[in-house]
Amino acid sequence: DKATINNTKITSLELMEHAATLCFEWLHSRLQGQNIKIHVFCGIGNNGGDGLVIARHLFQHGYNVNCYVVNFSDKRSPEFLTNYNRLKEIAEWPKIINDEGDFPEVDFEDIVIDAIFGIGLNRKPSGFTKKLIQYINNTKVFTLAIDFPSGMFGDKSVTDKSSVLRAGHTLTFQTPKLAFLLPENNEFLNTWEVLDIGLDTNFIESLLPTTHYITKNDVIPMYQSRNKWSHKGMFGHSLIIGGSFGKIGAVTLATKAALKIGSGLVSAYLPKCGYQILQISVPEAMVEVDSEKLLTYYNFKTKPTVIGIGPGMGTTDKTAVGFEAFLKENKTQLVIDADALNLLSKNESLLQYLPNKSVLTPHPKELQRLLGVWKNDYEKLEKAISFSTKYNVILVIKGAHTTVIDEQQLYINSTGNPALATGGSGDVLTGIITGLIAQGYQPLHAAIFGVYLHGKTADLALQKTSYETFTATTILDYLAEAILDLFHQEEIADSEA
C-alpha cells in the first residue's frame, strides 16, 4: 500500500475510502436496500478503518446497521481515527466492545461484516477478541470478511483454529493471498474474490517474486498456434508407459489424453494383456508390449520425443527392477506419475537419473512418500522447493489448487473443482502434459498449461453436467472447449462482478 501511496498521488486515506467503497458496493448490489440487520465489527487498525467506511456508506443508504469497535488496543491508526470521526458526524457513535459483557446479540438471519483484523495480524487473537470471534462463529451467521477472515495469517500457519473467524465470503484486496490457496486454511474460507483497488502491482510482484496465481491471461501467451504448413512430424511422438493386469484403463486414458491434446504421434507400451484393449479403445495409437501381466523388460523400439510413465503400472519387484534399469539408460524427457513416483520414493538413489526438468505429478499421498511428512502447508512448500532445486525437476502437486513448482518459483492454478475428484483424472493429466511436451512446449509451460486446461474442462463442464457424472473421460470431452475458451473474450464485467 505504501508503494502505491508513494508512487502515485493517492493518499492512504483515499485508498481506504476506495477499497472499502468497493466492499460496500458489493454488498449493496446484493442486498438492494433490504432491511436486514448488519453488524460491522471493526478493529482499531486499517482493517477496522475499512469497516468504519463500509458502516458509513451503509448508514447513508438507510441500512439497519450496528457498528462496533473491538477495543483490543488503544493504538488506533490515523486512517481509523479519521473515519471514526467521519462516522460520528453522520450517525450514532459506534459501540465500544471492551469485554464479553459488551457482545451484542447476533441472530442467524443477520449479516456480520468482519473488519477486526486484516493483513496486519501479527499474533493470534486472544482474550475477549478471541471470544468474540468464537461468539460470531457459533451464531452461524453469514459473515463477510474484509481482506482476511480475522485471525488468519498472511504468511504463516494458524496454530489455534478456534481463534479464526469462519468467513462465508471474503473480499480481499488486489491479489489472491497465498494463504487462501493452501488446503490447511480451507475451513476458514468459503468463497473469496479479489477486488482490484488499483494498487501498484509491480510492487506486489516484487514482494512475492516466487508466487504466481495462474489465470487465463498467464496461459494465453504459452499457447503454440499451428499454421497451414504444419504436419504431424512437427508435433512430436509421445510414449505412454504403464499398466498392469486390471489397470490397463489408466494407461489407456493417458494415451487418449496425449492424442487429444495434439501430440503428433502417440505410442503406448504396456503388458501384453492390454494389447487388444488399447488398440480397440485408441485406434490412433501404436502399441508395443512387455510381458504378459506386468511391465518387466521395458524393451520398446519406439524413439519418442517424451515419455509419460507410471499410470497403473504397479510396484511389484519385477516392475521395479526393470524401471531402475530403464531410468539408468533413459535420456528422453520424462513425465512421471503414480506408481513410477512410488517406485522413486522407495529408491531415492534413482532420482539422480531423472533428466533435467522431468515433470513429477504427485497427489498428496505420493508427495508425502517423496518428501516425508510436513508440519503444515508452508513447510510442505519449502520441502517441495528444496526437492525441485536439488533434483532439478518440476513438481506438480495435485490438489484443489494444483501447484507447479520449479525450483523457487510457485505457479498456483486457478481452475478446477471437485468434479475432478474422480478415478483416472490424474492419468489424463499425465497424458496432457506429455502430449504438450511432445509438441515442443517446454516442460514448465506444459505443466502449467496442462494443469490449467485440465481444471478448465471441469469448470466448463459444470455449466452442463453435475459433479457426480463428470468422469476422467469427460475431461477429454471438454478439452476442445477449454482450449477454445482461451480465445473467448469475457464480456466487460462491472466492478461488482
Which among ligand NAX, K ion, none contacts residue 150 (Cβ within 5 to 8 A by kind)? Answer: K ion
First and final CA of the chain: distance in angstroms? 23
Q: Which stretch binds ligand NAX (CB under 6 A): 122-130, 200-208, 316-324, 487-495?
A: 122-130
- Residue with Cβ nearer K ion (110 or 290): 110
Q: Pick from 22, 26, 27, 43: which binds ligand NAX (CB under 6 A)?
A: 43
Asked if 174 and 199 count as a contact pair (C-beta separation under 8 A), the reply is: yes
**Is residue 17 near K ion by the rule CB under 5 A?**
no
Site string for K ion, 95-124 (x = CB under 5 A): -------------------x----------
- Sort strands 286-289 and 306-309 into parallel, antiparallel or unpaired: unpaired
Q: What is the dihedral of CA 40, 46, 52, 56, to 10 degrees?
A: -130
**Is residue 104 near ligand NAX by the rule CB under 6 A?**
no
**Min separation Cβ 482 and ligand NAX, Å:** 35
**Is residue 122 near ligand NAX by the rule CB under 6 A?**
yes
**Is residue 114 near ligand NAX by the rule CB under 6 A?**
no
- Residue with Cβ nearer ligand NAX (173 or 298): 173
**Is residue 118 near ligand NAX by the rule CB under 6 A?**
yes
Biggest alpha carbon–alpha carbon distance for the chain: 84
Site string for ligand NAX, 48-77 (x = CB under 6 A): xxx---------------------xx---x
**Is residue 117 near ligand NAX by the rule CB under 6 A?**
yes
Q: Pick from 27, 41, 46, 137: which binds ligand NAX (CB under 6 A)?
A: 46
167-196 positions binding ligand NAX, by CB under 6 A: 173
- Residue with Cβ nearer K ion (127 or 418): 127
Which among K ion, ligand NAX, none contacts residue 12 (Cβ within 5 to 8 A by kind)? Answer: ligand NAX
Asked if 430 and 204 count as a contact pair (C-beta separation under 8 A), the reply is: no
Asked if 388 and 353 count as a contact pair (C-beta separation under 8 A), the reply is: no
Q: Pick from 150, 172, 174, 267: which binds K ion (CB under 5 A)?
A: 150
**Is residue 441 near ligand NAX by the rule CB under 6 A?**
no
Cβ neighbours, 10 Å, residue 102:
14
What DSSP string describes 397-465? E-STT-EEEETTEEEEE----GGG-STTHHHHHHHHHHHHHHTT--HHHHHHHHHHHHHHHHHHHTTTS
**Min separation Cβ 9 and ligand NAX, Å:** 14
DSSP 213: E
- Residue with Cβ nearer ligand NAX (133 or 384): 133
Q: Cβ neighbours of residue 466 under 8 Å, at least 6 residues apart? A: 419
**Is residue 146 near K ion by the rule CB under 5 A?**
yes
Enclosing H/E stretch for 211: strand 211-214
Q: Pick from 55, 70, 146, 404: which binds ligand NAX (CB under 6 A)?
A: 146
**Min separation Cβ 129 and ligand NAX, Å:** 6
**Is residue 322 near ligand NAX by the rule CB under 6 A?**
no
All three cell numbers of 222? 504459452
Interface size with ligand NAX, residues (CB under 6 A): 27
**Is residue 337 near ligand NAX by the rule CB under 6 A?**
no
Q: Between the CA of residue 77 and those of 47, 87, 146, 427, what are the distances in Å?
A: 10, 15, 17, 53
What DSSP string describes 103-154? PPP--TTSEEEEES--TT--S---HHHHHHHHHHHHHT-EEEEESS-TT--S
CA 383, CA 389: separation in Å to the nearest integer? 10
All three cell numbers of 368? 508425502
**Is residue 97 near ligand NAX by the rule CB under 6 A?**
no
Which among K ion, ligand NAX, none contacts residue 322 (Cβ within 5 to 8 A by kind)? Answer: none
**Is residue 120 near ligand NAX by the rule CB under 6 A?**
yes
- Residue with Cβ nearer K ion (145 or 482): 145
CA 241, CA 185: separation in Å to the nearest integer? 37
Residues within the interface to ligand NAX (CB under 6 A): 1, 12, 15-16, 19, 43, 45-50, 72-73, 77, 117-125, 146-147, 173
Note the residues at the interface with K ion (CB under 5 A).
114, 145-146, 150
